[in-house]
């Protein structure tokens, strides 16, 4: 069973961003599935790298969209994005240095962060982007 399942409540009404969020859920579920099979340590490095790459692309696209529509909450959104990136980089460094609890800590941190970020922070731009007609 997937740890993190897409629900319509997560939709921000921007097809690309919804797709990006689904991809992030998929990465979490990949890590969770590997951990359930006792294989978490074999996939975590790849998941961490994919996560860093993918969130950077996604965050850049979201921030560009918010700039285009002059979204008032852009600066606080950017702060949250940078904090997540720094936290994932921290997990990657800890893993590289032999941290054995990184997989479970990362999994639950990301689950909670994504749930809050999408349902609260991302939903702040939902109506603005929708009304702009650009997305």
Q: From the first residue on, what is the mean pLDDT of each consecutive set of 10 residues in the chain (135 residues)?
A: 86 94 91 85 85 92 96 96 91 81 82 92 93 83
Residue 109 CB burial class (10 angstroms; 0-12, 13-18, ≥19): middle
Quick one: which of 55, 37, 21, 10 has its CA closest to 103?
37
Q: What is the model's pLDDT at position 100?
A: 66
Set out the domains of the chain in order of their start, with CATH numbers.
15-132 (1.20.120.50)
The model carries a pTM of 0.87
Angle at 16 between CA 19 and CA 133, to 5 degrees: 140
Query: CA-CA distance, 54 to 74, in Å (whole number)?
Result: 20
Q: What is the model's pLDDT at position 93?
A: 87
- CA 63 from centre of chain: 14
Reported as half-sphere exposure (CB side, CA atoms, 13 A), residue 124 has a value of 16
């Amino acid at each position: 069973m997937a740890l993190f399942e897409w629900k319509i409540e997560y939709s921000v009404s921007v097809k690309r961003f919804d797709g990006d969020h689904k991809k992030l859920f998929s990465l979490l579920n990949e890590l969770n599935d590997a951990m359930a099979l006792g294989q978490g340590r074999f996939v975590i490095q790849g998941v961490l790298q994919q996560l860093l790459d993918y969130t950077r692309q996604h965050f850049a696209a979201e921030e560009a969209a918010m700039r285009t529509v002059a979204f008032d909450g852009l600066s606080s959104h950017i702060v949250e994005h940078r904090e997540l990136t720094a936290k994932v980089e921290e997990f990657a460094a800890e893993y590289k240095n032999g941290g054995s609890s990184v997989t479970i800590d990362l999994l639950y941190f990301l689950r909670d962060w994504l749930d809050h970020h999408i349902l609260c922070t991302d939903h702040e731009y939902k109506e603005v982007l929708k009304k702009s007609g650009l997305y």
